[in-house]
């Protein structure tokens, strides 16, 4: 017996679609990449229906779709700072992040792997639908196995009519190809499937990424690395005082209002030159106590931060750990 497949708008069909998910059935929903065939990711029996409807081999894992970044903690464990940086930068959007799975995720979703693929789509229908379900939806593309991925409700209907009860209408997919998949559990973050989020975009956040072709890309200026620690204006570390001065005048010439953050001894021979300076005090203890406050002050009053290098020893190294995060590792 084949079922009747219907295409409905979110307004017409949200309640019914949520009911289907809660009772362990599948529903097709639009995303900005391609249409997905979803089921409750925590319900192994429901997830098996995805494989049946698609005719997909069970050793091919699915992606868990979420409606809020906080849901990631329901699916994954041991999430690195680098993974968080990628998540904060690109989600919601056309990216799937591979993380270490939580034991709560059934084998049917991960194909028995110890990792799980997570995506937070940016399509308004997907977001509202998943949010209303209240659980992550495991979903592959909504096509039968080996067929072309669908980028409209009509594509899904032509391929899957009679195999799924309901298709949520969401128009033509804006991105149009499947999400970029990046494995954040690898030694070097690795792109497993290229997509709209490119290797260059990822390198800006991560500094180092292994591309789909196996080549490692190192960002020339990983300016966005660990952006969540960074001040709101650009910041660089000056290797020595001479470079700090040169950079100061370079940025001034560009029309920016730079400031140098340094301990007292720095720039002692400035002569008549007028620098904006935030004084961190005499010792490394002083600098450590004052460094965050100096960054706050600098981002409020100035437009570009040049910070001294505190070296690699002792407290200096601890201060540099924070300074490097704030500057995204940028040095001059």
Question: Can you give the binding site for ligand AMP, defined by CB under 6 A?
Answer: 60-63, 98, 110, 113, 115-117, 140-141, 178, 181, 192-193
What's the sign of the alpha-carbon dihedral 136, 78, 187, 322? Answer: positive
Report if residue 141 touches Mg ion, rule: CB under 5 A: yes
Partner whose binding site includes residue 206, from Mg ion, ligand AMP, none (CB under 5 to 8 Å by kind)? none
Partner whose binding site includes residue 117, from ligand AMP, Mg ion, none (CB under 5 to 8 Å by kind)? ligand AMP
Contact in structure between 101 and 161 (CB atoms under 8 Å): no
Nearer to ligand AMP, 117 or 189 (CB): 117
Provide the minimum distance between the beta carbon of 101 and ligand AMP in the complex, in angstroms, as a whole number: 7
Residue 301: exposure state from Cβ atoms within 10 A (0-12, 13-18, ≥19): exposed
Token duo for residue 267 = 């720039």
Size of the site for Mg ion (CB under 5 A): 1
Partner whose binding site includes residue 190, from ligand AMP, Mg ion, none (CB under 5 to 8 Å by kind)? none
- Report the candidate in 166, 129, 134, 203 with the shortest Cα–Cα distance to residue 28: 166
Nearer to ligand AMP, 173 or 238 (CB): 173
Q: What is d(CA 301, CA 303) in angstroms, rounded to the nearest whole number?
A: 7
Nearer to ligand AMP, 153 or 298 (CB): 153
Q: What is d(CA 59, CA 107) in angstroms, rounded to the nearest whole number?
A: 10
User: Mask: binding to Mg ion, 91-130, rule CB under 5 A, as x and -?
Assistant: ----------------------------------------
- Report the candidate in 213, 164, 173 with the shortest Cα–Cα distance to residue 50: 164
Type and span of the H or E element at 239: none
Provide the minimum distance between the beta carbon of 262 and ligand AMP in the complex, in angstroms, as a whole number: 46
Partner whose binding site includes residue 61, from ligand AMP, Mg ion, none (CB under 5 to 8 Å by kind)? ligand AMP
Partner whose binding site includes residue 17, from ligand AMP, Mg ion, none (CB under 5 to 8 Å by kind)? none
Q: What is d(CA 22, CA 46) in angstroms, rounded to the nearest whole number?
A: 9
Partner whose binding site includes residue 259, from ligand AMP, Mg ion, none (CB under 5 to 8 Å by kind)? none
**Which segment (137-145, 191-199, 207-215, 290-298) binds Mg ion by CB under 5 A?**
137-145
Q: How many CA atoms lie within 13 A of 246 on its CB side?
A: 9
Question: Before 92, cis peptide (omega within 30)?
Answer: yes
Task: Kindly list the residues in this chain that would bind Mg ion in the complex (CB under 5 A).
Answer: 141
């Amino acid at each position: 017996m084949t079922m009747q497949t219907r295409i409905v708008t979110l307004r017409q069909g949200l309640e019914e679609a949520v009911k289907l998910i809660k009772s362990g059935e599948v529903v097709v929903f639009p995303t900005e990449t391609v249409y997905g065939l979803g089921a409750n990711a925590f319900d192994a029996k429901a997830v098996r229906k995805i494989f049946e409807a698609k005719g997909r081999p069970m050793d091919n894992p699915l992606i868990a779709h979420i409606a809020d970044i906080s849901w990631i903690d329901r699916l994954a464990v041991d999430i690195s700072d680098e993974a968080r940086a990628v998540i904060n930068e690109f989600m919601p959007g056309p990216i799937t992040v591979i993380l270490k799975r939580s034991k709560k995720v059934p084998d049917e979703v991960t194909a028995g792997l110890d990792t799980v693929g997570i995506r937070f789509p940016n399509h308004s229908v997907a977001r509202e639908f998943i949010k209303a379900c209240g659980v992550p939806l495991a979903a592959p593309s909504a096509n039968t196995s080996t067929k072309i991925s669908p980028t409209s409700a009509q594509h899904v209907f032509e391929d899957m009519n009679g195999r799924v009860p309901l298709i949520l209408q969401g128009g033509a997919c804006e991105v149009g190809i499947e999400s970029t998949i990046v494995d954040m559990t690898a030694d070097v973050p690795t792109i497993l499937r290229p997509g709209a989020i490119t290797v260059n975009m990822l390198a800006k956040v991560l500094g180092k990424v292994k591309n789909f072709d196996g080549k490692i890309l190192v960002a020339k200026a990983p300016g966005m690395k660990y952006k969540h620690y960074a001040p709101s204006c650009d910041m660089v570390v000056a290797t020595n005082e001479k470079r700090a001065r040169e950079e100061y005048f370079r940025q001034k010439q560009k029309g920016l209002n730079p400031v140098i953050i340094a301990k007292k001894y720095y720039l002692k021979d400035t002569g008549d030159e007028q620098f904006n300076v935030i004084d961190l005090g005499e010792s490394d203890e002083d600098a450590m106590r004052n460094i965050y406050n100096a960054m706050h002050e600098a981002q409020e009053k100035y437009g570009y931060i040049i910070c001294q290098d505190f070296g690699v020893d002792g407290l200096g190294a601890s201060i540099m750990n924070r300074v490097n995060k704030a500057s995204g590792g940028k040095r001059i």
